[in-house]
Structure 1
Amino acid sequence: MSHSMSPADPLASMADASGLDLVERVSEMCFGLFMALSFVGAVSTGAPEADAGSTMLRAALGCNLAWGLVDALMYLVHTLSGRGSRLALALAVKNAPDAAVGIRIVRDALPPLIKTLTADADLEPLRLNLANLATLPDRPRLHGIDLLRALRVFLIVVLTTFPVALPFVFLDDVARALLISRLLTLAMLFGGGFALGRYAGFGAWQGGLGMIVLGVGLTVAIIALGG
């Protein structure tokens, strides 16, 4: 594993040099919120009144610490797998017996919609770029920047614990704290859905309200299950 912050790795620069995009950040935030909300709902019925705040915080934080670690590790697995796939593509193009075979290899790697809209002449520059890569690693590698991005994934999941759990620390009334916790969760879900809807082009308000509907559905399910 290389720990260079700016890796001169063509496989890294092909697709993932920009780091986590908005969709990934919102997805990680929502994942952390849903996990924390589920644990808070489950623990709220079993915690003694005097110990409710610390119990909620420990349960939600412990849950999200564990799942944040899993999510960060899976981000690294995804990154490494993507680079392995791109290395295989580059090697196949470089070793192709002629340009026609190389173009077919490139075409097979395209998403279905792009494949139907792209002529062979459009793919030739890409084939040439792949075939003329001066150096390729002998295997896919992770770099220091990937570890920082994995840490970012971990922190997003963990930090979303606190808006859900902290009301139980500052309020003695468990029912009121649970209400505030769920309202804060829905507000954060709306913010994430708002950003996602604007990014995806289907409407910021629609995205925010749709995410709230999803959050309300989850909250209702938790209440129905005794949370």
Structure 2
Amino acid sequence: MQGAGEQKRVRVLDPVERVTEVIFGLLMAMTFTGTISVATAGQEAERTMMIAALGCNLAWGLADGVMYVLRSVIERTRNHTLLTTLRSGADAATGQALIADALSPRLATAAGSDGLELLRQRLIDNPGLPLKTGLHLEDFKGALGVFLLVVLSTFPLVVPFLVLEETALAVRLSNLVGLCVLFIAGWILSKYAGAKPLFGAVALAVTGAVLIAAIIALGG
């Protein structure tokens, strides 16, 4: 069970999923900070913006956390069904087809018939593989992590509104902070994928800049 728990904790901290959650929360918050300039400048407008951005990300984080739990349960149940079918006497061709369906098309093609058969035999012969379904503690830990990432991604964008009195300057500085976070996120994702970090960082930052420009053009 310890091995299963360690594997699950790795999933919770998976760079792609976690950075993606930050990007989602960041872009959602930027839709508020980018459009505040159409409102009446002043403390009340800034307060309204911050409450709206935080409330939106709270709702999104809650929904995304619930979806994380749902995905975990579905994936675990699917794996349970696969193992049960393999161990219930399914023939080799059926077992290989099920394993190929569980893998990405490229991995299944690369493995070939021999590789799929080796996987089938190891899955059948390994008694240590977990077969339990349902909710696990790690699911709720992962959901909490998702919730916190989405919500906390709001705060770097609202800091300029807390320290600056000029609304227009605060909006632009907030956008700049958002671009810096997107740059870092792109760097992390590209490095994780084995690509050139600088290229990925610039690409994601430019994409964010285009989104910000679109927000401003639409009334920001």
TM above 0.5, yes or no, is yes
Q: Which runs of 5+ in 1 are unaligned?
A: 1-5
The answer for the alignment partner of 1:52 in structure 2 is 45
Alignment equivalent of 1:61, drawn from 42, 54, 57? 54
8 Å Cα contact 1:47/1:55 also seen in 2: no
Q: Is the 8 A contact 2:41 2:167 kept in 1?
A: no
CA-to-aligned-CA distance 1:59-85 (integer Å, 9 cap, x gap): 111111110111111111111111111
Q: 3-state SS of the aligned residue for 1:18?
A: helix
Counterpart code for 1:114 = L
Distance 1:123 1:225, change over 3 A: same
Equivalent runs, 1:139-218 vs 2, <5 Å: 140-218=133-211
Matches within 5 A, 1:1-227: 16-19=8-11, 20-132=13-125, 134=127, 136-137=131-132, 140-227=133-220
Q: Matched residues in 2 for 1:97 and 1:30: separation?
A: 43
- Deviation digits for residues 36-66 of structure 1, max 9, x if unmatched? 0002223442255131332222111111111
Matched AA of 1:151: L
Structure 1 Cα separation of the partners of residues 69 and 40 of structure 2: 36
With over 3 angstroms needed to count, the CA separation of the structure-2 counterparts of 1:150 and 1:47, relative to structure 1, is farther
**Count of aligned positions:** 217
Deviations 1:143-176 (A, max 9, x none): 1122111111111110110111121122111001
- 1:217 to 1:190, Cα distance in 2 relative to 1, 3 A: same
Which one is further off, 44-53 or 214-223? 44-53
Name the TM-score, length of structure 1 as normaliser: 0.86
Identify, as 1 or 2, the structure richer in helix.
2
- Aligned residue type for 1:129: R
Retained in 2: the 8 A contact 1:69–1:154?
A: yes
How much has 1:7 moved relative to structure 2? 6.3
Q: Show structure 2 runs of 5+ residues with no match.
A: none
Q: How far, CA to CA, are the matches of 1:176 and 1:99 in structure 2? A: 66
Aligned residue type for 2:131: L
Residue identity over aligned pairs, in percent, reads 41
Deviation (angstroms), 1:101: 3.6
Query: TM-score scaled to structure 2, two decimals?
Result: 0.88
